[in-house]
Structures are given as structure tokens and as C-alpha cells.
Structure 1
Amino acid sequence: MQKNKLKSGIEISEVGLGCMSLGTDLEHAETIVDEAIQQGITYFDTADLYDYGHNEEILGKLLKKYQNDIVIGSKVGNHFNKEKQTHFWDPSKEHIMNSIKDSLHRLNLDQLDLYMLHGGTIEDDKDESIEAFERLKEEGLIRAYGISSIRPNVIRYYLENSNIETIMMQFSLIDNRPEDLIEEIDEHGVKILARGPLSKGLLTDKSTKVLQNKFNDGLLDYNYNDLSSTIEKLNTEFDQLSAVTLNYLKSFDALGSIITGASSREQLKDSIQHYNTTMTEEQIKHARAIVKDIQYQNHTS
């Protein structure tokens, strides 16, 4: 599988496993993680908040035998109580500095490859958060850091004032808002981690069923009728919508990894098969012309 290099030299597979959907059954999770390794996936994405730390614990157990061959990314910023299953936003330096110790313990690691701020608002003390990540790099507890955000004003601040290496953002053929930021991101040598590439199943072979079950109120700038006609047009023109959206994402030089979740090994196999389906530049442009141009409406200044 194609690997893409971050500024620090870390290489991540162009498809990464989003681990939030692994569940809490260790044996079932192991079948998915082992399949990911067999398919060439070397980047695994988690967060301390997923299952209130349990997701990191499961990943730490399962990836220990592959430790020299894989890259792990986790996220921080939510102060949570596992027993009460509650959390609140806390991007403070103190919280970030303390949380890395807990994440490293749960992941069975001495050093985390990639540590990302799990959200963020323009009102945060962003310089304090940046100072925390820089300190963690100096202390050797992390190799690189980034943010997970869909707020353009937050993204731009970190691009201009920090040494982030990744930005995780919602990105698919339907949700093409990140196109507005691609040039700026690429100019700073930052790589995109594209989450939600299949738009909650809308861009799969189950698109009609998913549309009816999940999108009665439409999506972004689409009302239901707009979305229905767009999906129908895509299905008429292309055999497999998953392959279309994955090839669309692969066409951007700023792409670091497409983060795909999987609740079974079969689902993961299908995703990799569609990732490996080759499409021409003309086909990608045609698919892009069918969907709307979507721009960010909030948090732009």
C-alpha cells in the first residue's frame, strides 16, 4: 500500500484504520486489526475518549506484537470520567501534559507517534495547547502532533503558529469543504487525515438504503431531493461509489491517510478492494462535477 511521509519523516499508510468502531470485544477487535495488517495498513487512529480509554487499551494489547511496523495516532482534549461516562472540553497545557501519560500506559508505549488535539475553538488558549505539544516533543513522549478540526479559523491558526504535521477533517466526495483549505495546508507541508470518506455509508453499494434511513433531512447544502438525485446520478455513472470517493481523495497531494472504520474484517476487505480500484483522472473529474461545491459556512473568521 502507498505510504505518505509526514514532515518528521513518519510514514503512514494511505488507508488508516479508524479504531473507534472496533468495539469492546477483544477477540472480535483482533480479527479486524489482524486483517488491517494483512491488507498493508500501518496507521491506526484512536483517541483517549473512545470508550473512555478502553479503545486505547484494546489497541495497546493487539498492536504490541506489531510495534516496530505500525504508527499509532491518538487524540486529547476531552477531560473524561470513565465511571460516570461524562466528559468536558479541556485543551489546557496541564491536561495535555497529564493525559499523554495515561494514553501511553493504555497503549503500552513509551512514545506515541502522533498526538492530536481532539477539536478546538477559536476561543481556546491555542498558544498554551501548542506549547504543551512542543514540550511533549522535546521530552520525547511524542514524535509529532496535529489537530482534528473542521473549523477553518482554528485550522488556519495552527497552520500559521505551530508545527502541526496532520489535520484530521471530515472529507469525502459529497463533503468536499476541505478543498477550500487544500492549498494552504499543502503550502505548510501538512497532511490531511480524511475521516468520514464514505459519508456514513452514503457512498457505498448500500447508498439507497442509507439515504432513506439516515438522510431524510438532507446533508449540508443538499435537501433530501437534491441528495437523492445526486446519488442516483452517481450510481448511474459509476459501478461502485466507494471506489469513486476513495479515488477522489487519493487525487490530492496533501492527503496523508484515508481513515476508514470497520466493524468486521469483511467490511475492511471491501474498503481496501475499493481503494485499490483504479480510476482515471477524467473519471474523477466527472464524478466531482456531479456533486455540489460545498463551502464552510461557520467558523471562517
Structure 2
Amino acid sequence: MTQSTTRIKQVELGKGGPLVGVQGLGCMGMSEFYGDTDETAARQTLDAALAAGVTLFDTADVYGRGANEEFLAPFVAAHRDEITLATKFAIERSDDPQYRGIRNDRAYIRQAVEDSLRRLGTDVIDLYYMHRRDPAVPFAESVGAMAELVREGKVRHLGLSEVTGAELREAHAVHPIAALQSEWSLFSRDVERSAVGAAAELGVAFVPYSPLGRGFLTGAFADASVELSEGDFRKFQPRFTGDNAKANAALLAPVREIAAAHGATAAQIALAWVQQRAQVHGLTVVPIPGTRKPGRLAENAAATRITLTEAELAQLEPIATQVSGDRYPDMSSTSAAREA
């Protein structure tokens, strides 16, 4: 597919939410998790995203233990009125690299937002997500605390990540939720059990993370355990290694076939599939593929102009049911683990 400089279209991010480009940018990999980073290229990618009409920039306090928010601060300062800034709280880290805790209590939330505002160099966060849910903390407390931040002008809109449909409805009753962010791709469709339907019913936008299956759907690697660097966390994800990786790589054949028919890349077909979930399910969908390279950014943005036929969608439909391996070694903090 010929790349174009045409800016992507805009959509409303949830009922009453901000207007954003129909594709956002996940910034996590610019600081951590996917091996060595090139800061110069990453900053060029931020600029390329804005030029393409990408206006939703997604980070979290856990990425690099605050380093990703600090990295974004100069870009935020230069373009504050042009972008929608999203960050998240709830995953707690320590000096133990293996430790991950989940905190949803009011005191933690209030400290977390102050820390994020300071690192980002701004006085307001456009979209503030609860990154993971602690079921032991009632939404009346956690979403109630988030609602206080809206009333105080520190946050404009609220979001949740990895919650079930029932949980989304419960939280939305405490305070309107603008966006739900969860993994959704050709390889990961568990959110369709209940979360997608609830979001459509409530007018909540869906923000798919890892819409390219953490790069696997691009065909960039076939076995993370032998092809990726030591600093890449995908080496420890069950579906990207060993026999699982071999089986899953074979599932990309129809993606490549459809890509060839469109003169596109496999990544663009995977993204086009996610974008078309909006029409299939009747809700706003704004995926946030992550990249650190301006060229990949342009490729991803161009995918918003691909429309797959009904026959092509049918060809891709069975893939998710055939995927081998879980998304994470420990799925306990995902919505899939709490589905009835």
C-alpha cells in the first residue's frame, strides 16, 4: 500500500470525551520492555505521530518506573494544546525487578496522580486510567477517588484497563468512564465476551493495546526466546516462545495473503482488522500500537485507510481460537481471569 501524508480522521473518545485521531500511540517501548531504545528516533516518532494526526499519546507511571512520563515531558510542553495525554496508575514496583503489586486505594491514587503530573510537567491529565483492578477495593473507593481528581481539575476524563463488562458497568455508575483499554487483536479476543458489549452499551470508547500482538502479528520475529534481545520481556511471554511460537507463526498465513492482495504489510492488515471492530460492534475503537520508529508510525497510520472485505474478515475470524499460549505467564490481573 502506498504510504500517504493524509492525516488520519478524528473520533470522539467516549461519550463527551475529547476528539482524538482514530489511532493513538503507545509510548511504553520508548523507555523499557522491548530492548535497547534510541531516544533520538523515539522523539522523531512522537513528532511524526502528531504530523500524521495521531493525538492520543499513552503512557503509565509503571513504564520505566516513571522514566517514560519524564521522557514525554518536553513533547507535552511543546504541544500541550494539540494532544490528548493519557497515563495510568495502579501497578506498583519496587527495587525487586520481579515485584508487581496492584494498588487501588484512595491514598495511593492521590499520591500517584501528583507524581505523574510532576513527571509529565503538566497541571492536568486528559485521560487517567486505573491500569489494573484490585477486586478487594470497591469501585466506590477507587473510582470515587478518581472522580475527586476530575472535580479538582487534575484530571479531565477517567479510564479503566483490563476490566470485565460487569466491572465496567459498576465503575461507570460511580463516575462516567470515557475509555476502556485492554488487549485486543487478531490473537487476543477475550474482551469480546463481555467488555466490548458493555462499552458499546455505555458509550465508552475502546482503546486496544498490543493490537499487533506485541509485534508478533507483523512477522518481525517467530520465536522471541532466540530472536529477541535479553532486555526484551517478550522472551518470557508464553505465546511467543517454543512450540507455542511455532504454532502461532503458522497462523499468520492468511494475514500475509490478504496483505499481498492490498499491497499492504501484515501489520497494516492486523491494524485494519482492529479498526473495523468499531463497525462490527458499534463503538469507538482507537488502538494504540507502539513503535519507536517514524517509518513504522507512518505504516501504522496508513492502516486506518484500509477496509477489509467481508470475505477477508471471515478468513481472519478463526485465528484467535487457534492461538497457543496465554498473553502473560500470570493472567491473574487480567479481565479474562475474572470473567464468569
Tell me the TM-score range normalised by the shorter chain.
Answer: 0.7 to 0.9
What SS does the aligned partner of 1:266 have?
Answer: helix
Q: Equivalent residues in 2 for 1:1-301 (5 A)?
A: 1-5=8-12, 6-23=14-31, 26-80=39-93, 88-149=101-162, 151=164, 154-181=167-194, 182-206=196-220, 208=222, 218=239, 226-239=247-260, 240-251=265-276, 252=278, 253-289=282-318, 291-292=320-321, 298-301=337-340
Cα deviation, 1:167-215, whole Å, max 9, x if unaligned, reads: 1000001212222232221000101110011112221143646698569
**Following the alignment from structure 1 to structure 2, what is the Cα–Cα distance between the partners of residues 115 and 209?**
35
Change (3 A) 1:211 1:48: closer
Identify the structure with the greater strand proportion: 1
TM-score (norm 2): 0.77
- Contact (CA 8 Å) 1:234, 1:290: kept in 2 or not? no
123-132 or 279-288, which moves further after superposition? 279-288
- Contact (CA 8 Å) 2:41, 2:294: kept in 1 or not? no
**Following the alignment from structure 1 to structure 2, what is the Cα–Cα distance between the partners of residues 94 and 291?**
39
TM-score (norm 1): 0.86
**Following the alignment from structure 1 to structure 2, what is the Cα–Cα distance between the partners of residues 80 and 223?**
29
Measured after TM superposition, the shift of residue 286 of structure 1 is: 2.9
**Following the alignment from structure 1 to structure 2, what is the Cα–Cα distance between the partners of residues 56 and 70?**
15
Q: What one-letter code is carried by the residue in structure 1 that aligns with 2:274?
A: L
Quote the RMSD (CA, aligned, Å). Answer: 3.0
Q: What one-letter code is carried by the residue in structure 2 that aligns with 1:116?
A: Y
Q: What one-letter code is carried by the residue in structure 1 that aligns with 2:49?
A: A
Change (3 A) 1:93 1:273: same
Measured after TM superposition, the shift of residue 16 of structure 1 is: 0.9
- Contact (CA 8 Å) 1:152, 1:299: kept in 2 or not? no
**Following the alignment from structure 1 to structure 2, what is the Cα–Cα distance between the partners of residues 207 and 237?**
19
Q: What one-letter code is carried by the residue in structure 1 that aligns with 2:9?
A: Q
Quick one: percent identity of the two aligned structures?
A: 24
Measured after TM superposition, the shift of residue 273 of structure 1 is: 2.9
- Contact (CA 8 Å) 2:104, 2:134: kept in 1 or not? no
List runs of 5+ in structure 1 lacking aligned partners: none
**Following the alignment from structure 1 to structure 2, what is the Cα–Cα distance between the partners of residues 297 and 32?**
33
Aligned length: 298
Q: What one-letter code is carried by the residue in structure 2 that aligns with 1:3?
A: Q
Aligned twin of 2:4: none
Change (3 A) 1:209 1:77: closer
What SS does the aligned partner of 1:278 have?
Answer: coil
Change (3 A) 1:273 1:49: same
**Following the alignment from structure 1 to structure 2, what is the Cα–Cα distance between the partners of residues 64 and 111?**
12
